[in-house]
Amino acid sequence: MTVLWFTGLSGAGKTTISTLILQHLHAAGTPAALLDGDALRRGLNSDLGFSDADRTENVRRVGEVARLMTDAGLVVLVALISPFRSDRDRARALFHPGQFIEIHVDAPLEVAEARDPKGLYRQARQGQVRQFTGIASAYESPLNAEICIDTVACTAHEAAEQVLLFLEAPATVLHAGPTNGAV
């Protein structure tokens, strides 16, 4: 199966868009699951902080779980800031070519900060949240994402439709069978 890896700043719309796609896939009878960064940080990755090394480990773990889930026959949607290109590239290497679809959910910092649904940017500006991506820690935008979504120019529903149209394109293959497991 396929992994749809949504990356972008906090507040860009990763979870909202991936949830809409998940609902569509379920309605169509496609076995799919969502790995959301916030939920993973409360459970599987609750032992990790926000240092560069911990962020790298967070992405590594999520990539491994996504690989296991695709091997089990699921389409996996990952909504994770995953700020470093090298970490996303390592996650991509776990899958066959074409099986990992990187989706850059793009919103300028000022837009993401204005949305700030959890108050995290405000807390980061006040020094209450350290190493916050976009404020005190870098976010490296993808250079060659399969899909780029400008969430200023479109609604979450339009963005989800853009991804679904990509998946329906003849060149897109929802891979079956085990992944290569290469690191």
Annotated catalytic residues are: 82
- What the block records as the tokens of 183 is 């690191």
Angle CA 181–148–157, to nearest 5: 105
Paired with 171 in beta bridges are none
- What the block records as the tokens of 93 is 């290497």
Sheet with 147-150: list strands edge to edge.
Answer: 32-36, 75-79, 3-7, 100-106, 147-150
φ/ψ (deg, to 5) at 71: -60, -30
Paired with 149 in beta bridges are 105
